[in-house]
């Protein structure tokens, strides 16, 4: 089974537009909670491997299934699916976020209450990279990682959030501390203009988003193009992510043996 070892549940909320919206949610591991939001190609083997690495590091990973088949990549198929999911995803929207962010924020609130934690961490990637930034405004989210944030499509110099969203996120980051963002320097789906826009919106007077640019021309830093070698640039990025979540989510230090 593709999702063997995961506990499956369904989360429903009317936070999107007042009508119930439900998605399957898969959970694995114990410890501080990390909400891992799938990228455009889907929940393929590489995303599941990232989830396993986080579980091995001592976290509870929560993986919502928003679209596409499980266990394999479907780039073109998922693009077509997303065009049919306009209630949730606004792929070309400038100066506003996708409605599904409200569903994810409601899920974050539910997870905080369910697991009796102070707050959770979020990783967004590619299509959902911007969502991790938007979710930092929620009091249930203590830490966020945006990997190759790519929305809006066909608008690299624009952000997938409104001016009021940006103001709210800035305030939250001032309180919680800087979040992390990653891209490969030669990435055409998340081009340099995207990080320039983020830098201008958030880092004008202090560093609220640590913008990490890795050598190479690939796209998916933590999944599809992850270099599975100790000390590789992507491995260093993952270790930074793990250390960041360790600190922000207040995971107890291991007891020496």
> What pLDDT, on a 0 to 100 scale, did the predictor assign at position 252?
54
> What pLDDT, on a 0 to 100 scale, did the predictor assign at position 154?
84
On the 0-12 / 13-18 / 19+ scale of CB atoms within 10 A, 210 is: middle
> What pLDDT, on a 0 to 100 scale, did the predictor assign at position 257?
45
Give backbone dihedrals phi and psi of 256, rounded to 5 degrees, phi first. Answer: -60, 145
> What pLDDT, on a 0 to 100 scale, did the predictor assign at position 106?
98
- Per-residue confidence in pLDDT tens, the chain, 257 aa: 789 999 999 999 999 999 999 999 999 999 999 999 999 999 999 999 999 999 999 999 999 999 999 999 998 899 889 888 989 999 899 999 999 999 999 999 999 999 999 999 999 999 999 999 999 999 999 999 999 999 998 888 999 999 999 999 999 999 999 999 999 999 999 999 999 999 999 999 999 999 999 999 999 999 999 999 999 999 999 999 999 999 999 765 444 44
Pick 7-248's CATH classification: 3.40.50.1820, 3.40.50.1980, 3.40.605.10, 3.30.70.260: 3.40.50.1820
* Rounded Cα–Cα distance for residues 90 and 83 (Å): 9
Residues whose CB is less than 8 angstroms from the CB of residue 39 and which lie 6 or more positions away in sequence, other chains included: 47, 125, 126, 127, 128, 129, 147, 220, 223
> What pLDDT, on a 0 to 100 scale, did the predictor assign at position 81?
92
Q: What pTM, to 2 d.p., does this model score?
A: 0.95
CB atoms within 10 A of CB 255: 5
Provide the 8-state DSSP code for 40. T
* Rounded Cα–Cα distance for residues 53 and 123 (Å): 13
Provide the 8-state DSSP code for 128. G
Domain extents for the chain? 7-248
């Amino acid at each position: 089974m593709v999702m063997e070892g995961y506990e499956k549940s369904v989360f429903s909320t009317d936070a999107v537009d007042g009508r119930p919206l439900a998605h399957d949610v898969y959970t694995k591991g114990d410890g501080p909670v990390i909400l891992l939001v799938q990228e455009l190609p889907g929940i393929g083997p590489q995303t599941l491997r990232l989830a396993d690495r986080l579980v091995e590091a001592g976290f509870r990973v929560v993986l919502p299934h928003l679209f596409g088949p499980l266990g394999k990549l479907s780039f073109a198929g998922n693009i077509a699916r997303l065009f049919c999911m306009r209630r949730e995803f606004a792929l070309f929207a400038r100066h506003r976020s996708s409605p599904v962010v409200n569903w994810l924020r409601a899920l974050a609130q539910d997870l905080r209450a369910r697991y009796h934690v102070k707050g959770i961490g979020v990783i967004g990637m590619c299509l959902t990279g911007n969502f991790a930034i938007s979710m930092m405004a929620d009091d249930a989210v203590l830490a966020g990682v945006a990997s190759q944030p790519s929305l809006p499509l066909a608008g690299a110099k624009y952000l997938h959030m409104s001016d009021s969203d940006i103001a709210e996120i800035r305030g939250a980051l001032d309180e919680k501390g800087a979040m992390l963002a990653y891209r490969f320097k030669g990435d055409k789906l998340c081009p340099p203009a995207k990080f320039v826009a983020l830098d201008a919106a958030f880092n004008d007077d202090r560093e609220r988003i640590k913008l990490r640019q890795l050598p190479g021309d690939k796209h998916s830093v933590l999944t599809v193009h992850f270099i599975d070698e100790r000390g590789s640039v992507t491995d260093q990025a993952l270790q930074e992510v793990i250390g960041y979540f360790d600190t922000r989510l207040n995971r107890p230090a291991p007891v020496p043996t």
